[in-house]
Chains A and B, each alone.
Chain A
């Protein structure tokens, strides 16, 4: 980690990075993780700031732990095992450790949305897919729902394509449309952070560029954390990039610095395609 990104141990969430000021939305503090105490360690003492309304990209070769790290943010691992997290992920403004045992994973997932690698709409209508997050929060008022659904479909750049068939099955959409529907579904509840787990790896080039434009558009309103194998994508859409390797965070910094002038040899080898 380059020195200027060392996070001072104060309560401030405001950072002067020379050319601009950033605000912390979240912060990973010496996080270590393994699925099972006996298993090998997947994440080793990872620390990383997540700046507000910026896109942070996690890159690295397969098995480096980037998806595991992403899934810590909404406590996805808790669905399967009795996992224990060592370290903290603080969520601002109240600097609450979302990995704490006393925090209900459901509460975390209410605040942090996620879009998965493969488009996974529910076998319901387009409308019901987006409405889902509102319904599980007990919202019933039709006019409010209609408004929110239209807004998030617009945000996801899908409204003009589906406004005449909101009650058609979501599975009748193309892959790229389905993925944008999943983004709309995640946006409808105004998440504070949006997690994107290789959101374009199952899509064709045109749908991919749609999603990339969308990511740049979305960061006006929401903080985005994206895992990607596509280095051009990381370079194009992200403001900050973290390079991970074998569970270690090797290097973190502004994306243009990581991609043009990395300070670690391993980062350089990876982004020039020498391994990974």
Chain B
């Protein structure tokens, strides 16, 4: 009893040690959390600092308005537009494939399939995400492109279309897995309320489950888009790596990522303008991804406000 009393006093050594331990754990947790933030800040810092000298050679106006991107040529031109066009085109095609298919798959898995069947199907679907992207690249180049050529005989060996479609297939699991989680977390009592009013399963899914899960589904779409924007191997292999200011998906083109991988493979002298252009391209990509994430966050917050 007296020992217990002593323990309740704030100066008891065990109590002091407990306080210190608690502080220590908090510090360790803080450092772990801070490391990821610090790494992000470090990446942004390096991208910006390595990009700045580039803009002393090339003006921002030229960078944004020039129609060609040929940093490796003797007559070097630095217009980012062809790379941005390639990136957006590939991403757009991928999203056109991944969002409808991913949403359908997630609605099917969440609302229609029996639990035992779902447990069997999910790992198979997630296997799609486990296939290395270089395999997808060759799948696009050696399987999908010839297939498309049967439909469109004039299609060349490299095209954004083929790369975009395969990239879309690749990101289906990212979209469907998150969407399915969002749909399954819609409370059962809402489904029952809908069913009790005489709706079919499809009406319940379309009118109640998907709108209720909209916030989570948006996150899934944003993740899918970010993944498509940053994807490298498929476009580097199947889309041709030729910076090309066009919006025709049947032509070859290069994305920002494809340019980076192409140039990084060569031996560039440190500090040369070609070397700096990698950082500038990286910074541009980071900026685009950031904008998409902010838009996604904005949509989500608007939906949550309404709820």
A residues touching B (Cβ–Cβ < 8 Å)? 74, 76, 79, 106-107, 109-110, 113-114, 116, 118, 120-124, 132-133, 135-137, 169, 171, 182, 185-186, 189
Contacts and interface: CB of A to CB of B under 8 A. Distances in A.
A74 B307 contact: no
The contact size tier of chain B is 20 to 34
B196 A74 contact: yes
B194 A122 contact: yes
A185 B192 contact: no
Interface of B: 187, 189-200, 203, 207-208, 211-212, 306-307
B71 to A, nearest CB: 51
B195 A109 contact: yes
Contact of A79 (B190, B195, B198, B211): B195
Contact of A116 (B192, B199, B307): B192
A171 B198 contact: no
Contacts of A118: 189
Given A122-B212, A124-B211, A169-B306, A182 B193 contact: yes
A124 B193 CA distance: 13
Contacts of B199: 106, 132, 136
Contacts of B307: 123, 169, 171
Closest 6 CB pairs of A and B: A110-B198, A114-B196, A136-B199, A120-B189, A133-B197, A109-B198
B193 A136 contact: no
Given A122-B212, A169-B306, A137 B193 contact: no
Contacts of B187: 120
A208 B189 CA distance: 21
Contacts of B189: 116, 118, 120
B14 to A, nearest CB: 46
B197 A113 contact: yes
Contact of B198 (A124, A133, A182): A133
A106 B198 contact: yes
Interface-centre pick from A79, A123, A124, A133 (highest chain B CB count, 10 A): A123
A120 B203 contact: no
